Amino acid sequence: MKTQQSIEKVKAVYFTAIAVMGSLLILGSTVTVQAALQTGNLFQPNVIIGLDNDNTDNLEIQPSPDDPNQSLNNTDILIGGFREDILIGLLGSDVLHGFFGDDVLIGGTEQGSQPNSDVMFGGHGEDISIWAPGDGSEAFDGGPGEDVEVFGVIDRDEDNVPTLDEETELPTAEVTGSPGFCTIEPVQDPDLGFEFLARFFVRATGNLAVTVRLKDVEQVFCTSEAGGEITFADLTAPDPQFVVISLEDVENLNPKVAQIIR
């Protein structure tokens, strides 16, 4: 229950913050966003990318190198608006909140650097969270709407920033060729507050790499244990398990996901 209560408190803080910022915008005031807290335009689609500037190199955060670490170690807090937003955390253990709209949330990509455990809230709408190899264990609360977790190798530029397709304006990811596979299991302890644990295993070794905690998430897309095929788990089913599906099946199950994965 403590975990669930904590999540609800965090949600309440975010919604309160958004309400205040929305009021300021309506009144014509300027909201100055400092350090690692970024909020998008409430009424237009946003692409918000973490600044990764809350660290010991930031003299406003870290007055002296002789002081103990005062930073959040590159943690970003990204909050979307009422439209379709894309939130990308990059380095650090980030917190992403899509708010309203059909959002795409990417906590990384950290490429193995730590800390790298992101927490994501979809909010209202049909949201998609994308986890990439090299990211850490994460948590995704989809919220109201049909929400999706995707495990895949995200396409990035030379600066490690996920790229957006010119036509769809969405990030893209290689799922069929991902270096691992997934299992899904229901959470047994109600005090954890989550409903499912999606575990990602490294194919070459069979070792467990990360666990993604899921709540209010209806679909999960991953890669087959043998590799080269996409797998899908319907979390609304009585006993969800991953099954191999085709790209045509992906299109039928979720057209937006079909624009993102291959």
Q: What's the DSSP call for residue 162? A: B
Q: Are 48 and 107 in contact (CB under 8 A)?
A: no
Q: What is the pLDDT of residue 28?
A: 36
Q: What is the pLDDT of residue 36?
A: 76
Cβ-based burial of 214 (10 A; exposed 0-12, middle 13-18, buried ≥19): buried
pLDDT band at 66 (very low <50, low <70, confident <90, very high): very high
The count of structural domains within the chain is 1
Cβ-based burial of 209 (10 A; exposed 0-12, middle 13-18, buried ≥19): middle
pLDDT band at 35 (very low <50, low <70, confident <90, very high): very low
Mean pLDDT for the chain overall? 89
- How far apart, in whole angstroms, are the C-alpha atoms of residue 150 and residue 257? 8
Going from the C-alpha of 30 to that of each of 33, 51, 76, 83, 98, the distances in angstroms are: 9, 20, 21, 20, 21
Domain membership of residue 148 as a residue range: 2-260
Using one digit for the tens of pLDDT, what is the confidence trace for 153-201? 999 999 999 999 999 999 999 999 999 999 999 999 999 999 999 999 9
Predicted model pTM: 0.86
More confident residue, 2 or 225: 225
Tally Cβ neighbours within 10 Å of residue 181. Answer: 21
Q: Which helix (H) or strand (E) holds 233?
A: strand 230-234
pLDDT band at 142 (very low <50, low <70, confident <90, very high): very high
- How far apart, in whole angstroms, are the C-alpha atoms of residue 148 and residue 165? 19
Q: Are 136 and 200 in contact (CB under 8 A)?
A: no
* Residue found under tokens 């059909």: 102
